[in-house]
């Protein structure tokens, strides 16, 4: 059964939902990452951005707002329009919403490397090998000194421990990992050191980075992951 990626966002409006809790955590970590970024322009890239709640909610009113150029990559056309409207209403002229498949890096390579890379609501929709491939590729997608914020559900089998290990193997340092008792979501934050180990490739991956599982392909957008 495929998902309706527009209606899926309704849970954000329920303060008691796990998705609402996850959103608050992601926005808080994004706000901290923006504040910690060096002076000057900040490039943010959000893959499978849905309606843009993660970025737009954190960026609107942030004191670094005018420093940020944010690219929200989303395939579902209705979500793209909603995100575009949200950004406009918030006065975020530095936010661009691009309707394209985030699984193909070439579709947004012009915005890379990112100072902040969001991989939220993606990993719960992928096979394990695609998650691993995306984590390893993050070393090239993210600028030296940059931050990756990611999410993954913790339903059995809980893959979050393995994902954290994959980020470490890719040369990232863990900044935070939060797994609130009230929700089955995990939110991870990893930083790519300014001095990156040789094992972390600087080459953008060719070909497809990830593909949503068939039951989630109503159009890649954020999901329970």
Q: Domain range spanning residue 155?
A: 7-216
**Domain-located, residue 223:** no
- Predicted confidence at residue 1, as pLDDT, reads 44
Between these two residues, 49 and 1, which has the higher pLDDT value? 49
Dihedrals phi, psi of 154, to nearest 5 degrees: -110, 20
Q: Determine the average pLDDT of the residues in 102-111.
A: 96
**Domain-located, residue 19:** yes
Q: Are 163 and 131 in contact, with CB atoms under 8 Å apart? A: yes
Structure tokens, 153: 């559900």
- Predicted confidence at residue 222, as pLDDT, reads 44
Between these two residues, 19 and 184, which has the higher pLDDT value? 184
Q: What is the DSSP string of 113-149?
A: SEEEEEE-S-GGGS-HHHHHHHHHHHHHHEEEEEEEE
**Domain-located, residue 225:** no
pLDDT at 5 over 60: no
**Domain-located, residue 221:** no
E runs forming strands in 25-102: 42-47, 68-74, 95-99
pTM score, whole prediction: 0.90
**Domain-located, residue 149:** yes
- The Cα–Cα gap between 73 and 33 comes to 20
- The Cα–Cα gap between 107 and 121 comes to 19
- For the stretch 185-206, pLDDT in tens is 999 999 999 876 544 456 788 8
- Predicted confidence at residue 85, as pLDDT, reads 97
14-18, 53-57, 92-96, 163-167: lowest mean pLDDT where? 14-18
pLDDT at 50 over 90: yes
Name, in order, each residue with C-beta under 8 angstroms of 157's C-beta and a sequence gap of 6 or more. Answer: none
How many CB atoms are closer than 10 A to CB 30? 25
Q: Determine the average pLDDT of the residues in 85-107.
A: 97
Query: What angle in degrees, to the nearest 10, is found between the helix axes of 160-169 and 128-141?
Result: 40
Residue entry with tokens 């990893």: 190
- The Cα–Cα gap between 172 and 222 comes to 24
pLDDT at 216 over 70: no
CATH code for the domain in which residue 187 is found = 3.40.50.150
Q: Determine the average pLDDT of the residues in 100-120.
A: 97
Q: Determine the average pLDDT of the residues in 15-37.
A: 88
Q: What is the DSSP string of 186-216?
A: EEEEEE--SS--TTS--SPPPSB-----GGG
Average pLDDT of the residues of the chain? 88
Q: How many domains does the chain have?
A: 1
**Domain-located, residue 224:** no
- Predicted confidence at residue 220, as pLDDT, reads 40
**Domain-located, residue 222:** no
- The Cα–Cα gap between 161 and 154 comes to 10
For 177, the 3-state DSSP assignment is: strand
25-39, 136-150, 184-198, 209-223: lowest mean pLDDT where? 209-223
**Domain-located, residue 1:** no
């Amino acid at each position: 059964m495929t998902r309706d990626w527009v209606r899926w966002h309704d849970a954000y409006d329920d303060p008691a939902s796990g998705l609402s809790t996850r959103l608050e955590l992601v926005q808080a970590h994004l706000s901290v990452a923006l504040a910690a970024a060096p002076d000057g322009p900040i490039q943010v890239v959000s893959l499978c951005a849905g309606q843009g709640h993660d970025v737009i909610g954190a960026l609107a009113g942030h004191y670094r707002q005018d420093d940020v150029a944010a690219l929200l990559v989303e395939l579902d056309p209705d979500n793209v329009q909603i995100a575009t409207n949200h950004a406009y209403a918030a006065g975020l002229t530095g936010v661009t919403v691009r309707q394209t498949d985030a699984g193909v890096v070439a579709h947004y390579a012009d915005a890379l490397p990112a100072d902040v890379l969001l991989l939220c609501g993606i990993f719960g929709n992928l096979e394990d090998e695609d998650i691993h491939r995306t984590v390893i590729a993050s070393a090239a997608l993210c600028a030296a000194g940059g931050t990756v914020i990611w999410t993954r559900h913790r339903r059995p089998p809980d893959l979050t421990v393995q994902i954290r290990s994959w980020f470490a193997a890719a040369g990232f340092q863990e900044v935070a990992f939060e797994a609130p008792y009230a929700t089955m979501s995990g939110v991870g934050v990893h930083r790519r050191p300014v001095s990156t180990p040789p094992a972390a490739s600087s080459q953008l991956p060719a070909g497809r980075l990830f593909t949503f599982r068939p039951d989630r392909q109503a159009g890649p957008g954020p999901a329970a992951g």
